[in-house]
Amino acid sequence: MSVQSAAAILSDLRDQREAAETEAKRLQEAETQAEMDLFHEMSEAGISSFKSDELGKQFVRVTNRYPRLADKLREDDMLAWLRNIGHGGVIREQINPSTLKATLRSIAEEGVTMPEYIEIFEKDAVQVKRSAK
């Protein structure tokens, strides 16, 4: 296989993936709208659930609750509250992978030796960029 043919295969596969992702996003938006429409219709009809023999599915109207912090500056207060009421086990520290990557790159460029518990692995890849026509 030549370099050109391998590049053509990679380019074609990435284009197909991008098209599939675009279509998946469109379908997700259409599904969300259809779900909201059905929820509204069920609410208007006073129906909390129904079974469709034709579709072989049951539809149940639910309201999911997603907590969020009203004031980001109060995050420490929320964490302390969770610990105080015995739910500190749900707290996890997380580091954004991209931020960690950039930070470690910057530290290495400064000449600082990494501790032995930090492993850096390399992954070969090919960047594909649109060329100017």
Confidence band of 131 (pLDDT split at 50, 70, 90): confident
Instruction: Evaluate if residue 109 carries a pLDDT over 80.
Output: yes
For residue 120, being part of any structural domain is answered with: no
Number of domains in the chain: 2
To the nearest whole percent, how much of the chain has pLDDT over 70?
98
The answer on 19 and 6 residing in a single domain is yes
What range defines the domain where residue 96 resides?
Answer: 67-114
Note whether residue 28 is domain-resident: yes
Sign of the four-CA dihedral 104, 108, 112, 114 = positive
User: Is the same domain home to 97 and 79?
Assistant: yes
Establish if 11 belongs to a structural domain: yes
Q: Are residues 9 and 43 in the same domain?
A: yes
pLDDT for 30-68, tens place per residue?
Answer: 999 999 999 999 999 999 998 999 989 999 999 888 877
Q: Is residue 80 part of a domain?
A: yes
Residue 132, in any domain of the structure: no
Asked whether residue 28 falls in the same domain as residue 61, the answer is yes
Q: Are 60 and 86 contained in the same domain?
A: no
HSE-CB at 99 with a 13 A cutoff on CA atoms is 3
Residue 122 lies in a domain: no
State the residue for tokens 């779900």: 35
Q: What pLDDT does residue 128 have?
A: 65
* Contact status, residue 90 vs residue 82, Cβ threshold 8 Å: yes
CA dihedral over 116, 118, 119, 122, signed as positive or negative: negative
Identify the three-state secondary structure at position 70: coil
Residue 5 maps to a domain: yes
How far, in Å, CA of 108 to CA of 110, rounded?
Answer: 5
Tell me whether residue 102 is in a domain: yes
Mean pLDDT of the residues in the chain:
89
